[in-house]
Amino acid sequence: MKVLEKAPAKINLSLDALYKREDGFHEVKMVMTTIDLADRIELTERTDGQIEIISHNRFVPDDNRNLAYQAAQLLQKKYGVTKGVSIEISKIIPVAAGLAGGSSDAAATLRGLNKLWNLGLTLDELAVLGAEIGSDVSFCVYGGTALATGRGEIIQPIPAPPHCWVVLAKPTTGVSTAEIYNNLDLKKVNHPNVDGMVEAIKNQNYEEVTKLVGNVLESVTLKLYPEVAQIKEQMKRFGADAVLMSGSGPTVFGLVQHDSRLHRMYNGLRGFCDQVFAVRLIGEQNKLD
Ligand SMILES: C[C@@](CO)(OP(=O)(O)O)[C@H](O)COP(=O)(O)OP(=O)(O)OC[C@H]1O[C@@H](n2ccc(N)nc2=O)[C@H](O)[C@@H]1O
Ligand SMILES: Nc1ncnc2c1ncn2[C@@H]1O[C@H](COP(=O)(O)OP(=O)(O)O)[C@@H](O)[C@H]1O
């Protein structure tokens, strides 16, 4: 038997870190939303109990370092599952990009195995399990748009943002999330207005959304990787309504409502950045159930 699952990427429209906790993680407050750029996960049941990762991307680990592998192993252990699975990952989301590709693959594996292995778990139960794999996995279990707090695993759904296009540009460098959080000096940053962003989205006020995008991690990554700042500048020059780095980076996204400007931005950025995508927000909650 086979199950197919879509594993969409996310962007952070607003990302604040409040303080460093005793467990080493940062207490965060962020608005996350899924975008129409997705990996495809194909799960095929195995009778030998083994977990196998098949991926044709050299940046994706094919052993227990893979977050999808960890998701399958966690379900096997918690629910005494004796069956195994081959997990084929068709990778579209750039790796180590600030787009939660690995987390979304893990979340899609949790959803898919829930069906393949007939576990009967709810999305809320899968989200709790996801938090054991990584801070972004719980959000990815639900998808949609949410306010995320705690270390990122406490999820409150909010409405979808107003309609717009998202242009993504990923510089060649990959970024380690831990490195960026480790270099964050909370005394020296500008905190974004996360509550304002939630209000702007609830009011479907696109102009306010574009004014309020902000990411406390951006200045850290920009300092370490100046090419990210250059891409930001180019996106502004090509006419984006708002430009921000996603997560810990290095992917930069631009929001735009008019099709004519979308084409200008996309074509302009393709001139000097290999990985450029123009996608829609997916938006609504629980689309992934
Ligand atoms: C920055 C964000 C924003 O959505 O996304 P990405 O850039 O990774 O996509 C997330 O907070 C990343 O979540 P995720 O990538 O799941 O992080 P984890 O695997 O849980 O943690 C990796 C490392 O990041 C740091 N970390 C992570 C989350 C958090 N709230 N505080 C932290 O300080 C810790 O050093 C941790 O060891
Ligand atoms: N399924 C997966 N897809 C991509 N990377 C993965 C996966 N599983 C584990 N990884 C590891 O996680 C790291 C971060 O990858 P990713 O989730 O794409 O980035 P980010 O956390 O910036 O959104 C990669 O360097 C990779 O080694």
Pair (112, 242) in one structural domain: no
How far apart are the C-alpha atoms of 189 and 220, rounded to whole Å? 9
Model pLDDT, residue 144: 96
- Mean residue pLDDT across the chain: 95
Look up residue 247 and give its DSSP letter: T
Pair (36, 82) in one structural domain: yes
Alpha helices (runs of H) in 63-122, residue ranges in sequence order: 67-79, 101-116
Cβ–Cβ contacts within 10 Å for residue 82, how many?
9
User: Which of the residue ranges 73-77, 87-91, 244-248, 272-276 would you say has the lowest mean pLDDT?
Assistant: 272-276
Residue 23 in this model has a pLDDT that exceeds 70 = yes
SS3 call for 17 = strand
For residue 275, list its beta bridge partners: 170
Domain end residue (candidates: 109, 138, 157): 157
| Residue 69 near residue 34 (C-beta atoms within 8 A) | no
Let me know if residue 286 belongs to a domain. no
Let me know if residue 87 belongs to a domain. yes
Pairing of strands 26-46, 2-20: antiparallel
Pair (177, 81) in one structural domain: no
Model pLDDT, residue 272: 80
Within 6 Å (CB) of ligand 2, which residues are found?
60-61, 65-68, 89, 95-103, 105, 177, 247-248
Residue 101 assigned as binding residue: yes
Residue 289 in this model has a pLDDT that exceeds 60 = no
Look up residue 47 and give its DSSP letter: S
Could you give the ipTM of this predicted complex?
A: 0.98
Pair (6, 107) in one structural domain: yes
Pair (146, 177) in one structural domain: no
How far apart are the C-alpha atoms of 277 and 5, rounded to whole Å? 21
Question: Whose CA is closest to 37, among 9, 60, 57, 12?
Answer: 9
Let me know if residue 266 belongs to a domain. yes
| Residue 192 near residue 14 (C-beta atoms within 8 A) | yes
Q: Name the pLDDT band for 274 (thresholds 50, 70, 90).
A: confident
Residue 1 in this model has a pLDDT that exceeds 70 = yes
Residue nearest to atom 9 of ligand 2 (CA): 66
Active-site residue, 211 included: no
Pair (46, 184) in one structural domain: no
42 Cβ contact partners less than 8 Å away, ≥ 6 residues apart: 2, 3, 4, 87, 88, 90
Pair (129, 75) in one structural domain: yes
Q: How many domains does the chain have?
A: 2
Residue 215 in this model has a pLDDT that exceeds 60 = yes
Residue 72 assigned as binding residue: no
SS3 call for 21 = coil
Domain hosting 53: range is 2-157
Pair (198, 255) in one structural domain: yes
CATH of the domain at 76: 3.30.230.10
- The torsion region of residue 239 among left (phi > 0), alpha (psi -120 to 50) and beta comes to left
Residue 68 in this model has a pLDDT that exceeds 60 = yes
225 alpha carbon, distance to own chain's centre = 20
